[in-house]
Amino acid sequence: MTPVIPMGKALSDSPVIAAAARQDRAIMSRAYSDIAFTPAVRAMQTRMGSRAAYAPLDHTNDRQNVLGGSEAEFIEARDGFYQATVGETGWPYVQFRGGPLGFLKVLDEKTIAYADFRGNVQYISVGNLQNNDRVSLILMDYASKSRLKILGRVKFVPADQDPGLMARLTMPDYRARVERAAVITIEAYDWNCPQHITPRFTESEIEQGIAPLRFELARLQKELQVARAELAAHGKT
Ligand SMILES: Cc1cc2nc3c(=O)[nH]c(=O)nc-3n(C[C@H](O)[C@H](O)[C@H](O)COP(=O)(O)O)c2cc1C
């Protein structure tokens, strides 16, 4: 979420910016703001009083458009992401793409890719991407309240065209037919602040979290069983 900075307030007064600073992160990468801050967006920022605060981004040389280690690790630890495309009517279309953990791969510091599994054969995203190769992704880790936004351009590679690439993207234990590879060249990315993300946990994360409790419960049940048996042996039940 773009920080809301009331008129007359300095950028550093914003709690969102303060949070970004605490995490040693820029408020937004130059590459991302170059794309996202369109003339209409800039005009709105001017009207609302936040333009001056973001202006220094226009003069930052570090574009931050290549993936670092923490981005790569985060991307490859996901089991799904939201992907927006734009159809030729101008309507945005968002779809959730899910798969086995790690199905979104980092090929290099500017490229990510996933195997596009055969699904309901509506082909809305694939169709949209024929005319406009731009995608906007949101990758969520609800457990750690983190999200990474990515802007990129998609190139599809048919499944039979590049066996080496397919071998890299196919998930051995996932029973799904791969129709094509979606290869995304990253134009920009941005970490958003954790505010307003409700922590949520997957079944396996919950299982891991409660494993010590299960262990303790089993130990106590066993202890109870022994104690009851002893009482019964003494005729006390
Ligand atoms: C048999 C079947 C398998 C599917 N497998 C997946 C899947 O692995 N991952 C996923 O996100 N959606 C899956 N879906 C749901 C959608 O079909 C899939 O997300 C599809 O790519 C939607 O694309 P679109 O909305 O761009 O047309 C599946 C649907 C069906 C009917």
| pLDDT at residue 237 in the model | 65
**CA atoms of 66 and 27, how far apart (whole Å):** 17
Q: What DSSP designation does 77 have?
A: T
Distance from C-alpha of 167 to C-alpha of 12, rounded to nearest angstrom: 48
Closest ligand 1 atom to residue 126 Cα is: 26
CA distance 65 to 34: 11
If you compute the radius of gyration of the chain from its CA atoms, what whole number of angstroms results?
24
What's the pTM?
Answer: 0.84
Q: What is the mean pLDDT of residues 130-145?
A: 97
Atom of ligand 1 nearest to the CA of 116: 21
Mutate to test the pocket of ligand 1, among 82, 120, 129 (most ligand atoms within 8 A of CB): 120
Distance 176 CA to ligand 1 centre (A): 10
Mean pLDDT of 49-74: 92
Handedness of CA 51, 56, 59, 60 (dihedral sign): negative
Tell me which residue has its CA closest to atom 16 in ligand 1: 119
Average pLDDT over residues 220-234: 95
Q: What is the pLDDT of residues 35-58, one digit of tens each?
A: 999 999 999 999 999 999 999 999
Mean pLDDT, range 84-113, rounded to an integer:
97
Q: Which residues contact 180 (CB under 8 A, 6 or more apart)?
A: 116, 126, 156, 157, 158, 159
Report which of residues 173 and 116 the model is more confident about.
Answer: 116
Question: What residues does each domain of the chain span?
Answer: 11-59, 69-192, 201-237
Q: What is the pLDDT of residue 26?
A: 58
Return the CATH class of domain 69-192: mainly beta
